[in-house]
Amino acid sequence: MKVLVVGSGGREHALCWAIARSPKCGQLYCAPGNAGIARVAACVDIPADGLGPLVDFAKREAIDFVVVGPEAPLVAGLVDRLERAGIKAFGPSAAAARIEGSKALMKDLCAKYDIPTADFEAFDECDAAKEYIRARGAPIVIKADGLAAGKGVILCRNLNEAFAAIDHIMTERSFGGAGDNVVVEEFLHGEEVSFFALVDGTTAVPLVSAQDHKAAFDGDEGPNTGGMGAYSPAPVMTSELQERVMRDIIQPTVNGMVAEGMPYKGVLFAGLMIDPEGHPKLLEYNARFGDPECQVMMMRLKSDILEMLLACAEGRLSDIRVEWHDEAALVVVMAAKGYPGPYAKGTEIGGLEAAGELAGVTVFHAGTTADDGRVLADGGRVLGVTAMGGGVAEAQALAYAAVDRIDWPEGFCRRDIGWRALHRP
């Protein structure tokens, strides 16, 4: 079959890498893709938010199945437009994708259907938000309501930081329209984990857990980013806890979405906080695979990803059994110096072949472009150096061995990805 993947990041490279291995995949396209994706798929020069041109391309090329990677085209309704054109697609409708596109909507859903989450209030006016914060005290969490590329959540240790966060989002408009409204949320203590499930409208099938590293620098210091590394599985997510998350969080959400008239189809990414007593609460939902979590998930996946995504889109997940490698996988993100602030583009990256020659290593590309045989940095997060090992420690050692083979003076990475798993008692 002819498959089109939409997106250009490390997540989409990992999806293309896995889909290309499926016997069901005949011809694979990616729009717009990147220098790494070009090795496994034909890249098409259409941006991920070019909804009309994407639908036109899919019709013209008789694409059988479209896999939408990023959240923005999902929230904008790309899946709806593809399905109206008679093209099968993986991902939620625009209405269902609002579970990520509006944090206030997600929190209201939790309140209505008794899904455990942090206490919250939503505001569309600065002074009212600040008055609530003054009454609640700190630490406290401030979230831009809309899409902010993973950077719209601000953890505030005191009232001054919280008031500054409100100004940053609502007055300075740092996230544009995403900050028209804010969610002010109780600060939860515990261990964060990313958990994923496929949903076909009514049936939910658990995938695996992972742990991301959001802060830019070692020791979880510095500003939040889109993610500087991840590993899977997350030791905190036991089989008993997974059953509880499916029962108390995922399935009530699926049922609630049906009741609200916006059934969810696609991957449901739950950001969870596990408190010191082992109780899970929902921090947020995302309507797509995580990045960089997708990279470690695709490395560990034994089953045919294309068959899984098709079953999800066709409403037959109850027929699917998902198998995983027992080994751990770990990804180290290499980013351009300055990220998540201003950074330079166009710097050359060497040593990629040498890094990829290590057994068990795959280097996924995110912000890269090809130029006359050279690979150039073209974004903030640029590479996802991913390794499989017998455990997190082995995967970590192998990933950093590969990082050390890459010649890119203008890049940086955290050197402690996986620290939480390695420091567990």
**CATH number of the domain within which 30 lies:** 3.40.50.20
pLDDT, residue 148, reads 81
Domain boundary pick from 292, 319, 346: 319
Q: For residue 262, what pLDDT band results from cuts at 50, 70 and 90?
A: very high
Residue 146 covered by a domain: yes
pLDDT tens-digit series, residues 184-219: 999 999 999 999 999 999 999 999 999 999 999 999
Q: What is the pTM of this model?
A: 0.93
pLDDT at 150 over 80: no
Q: Are 338 and 418 found together in one domain?
A: yes
Residue 104 covered by a domain: no
252's torsion region: left (phi>0), alpha (psi -120 to 50) or beta?
alpha
Averaging pLDDT over each range in 152-161, 162-171, 332-341, which range is the top one?
332-341
Residue 386 covered by a domain: yes
| Pairwise CA distance, residues 226 & 285, whole Å | 15
Cis status, amide bond into 276, omega within 30 of 0? no
Residue 232 covered by a domain: yes
| 176: CATH | 3.30.1490.20
pLDDT at 425 over 70: no
Write out the residue range of the structural domain in which residue 366 sits.
328-422
Residue 101 covered by a domain: no
pLDDT, residue 149, reads 72
pLDDT, residue 353, reads 96
pLDDT at 423 over 90: no
**423 — phi, psi (to 5°)?**
-100, 10
Q: For residue 67, what pLDDT band results from cuts at 50, 70 and 90?
A: very high
Mean pLDDT of the chain: 95
- Compute the average pLDDT of residues 96-111: 92
Helix axes 293-300, 10-19, angle to 10 degrees: 20
pLDDT, residue 178, reads 85
CB 360 within 8 A of CB 398: yes
pLDDT at 50 over 80: yes
pLDDT tens-digit series, residues 372-407: 999 999 999 999 999 999 999 999 999 999 999 999
Helix axes 251-259, 103-112, angle to 10 degrees: 100
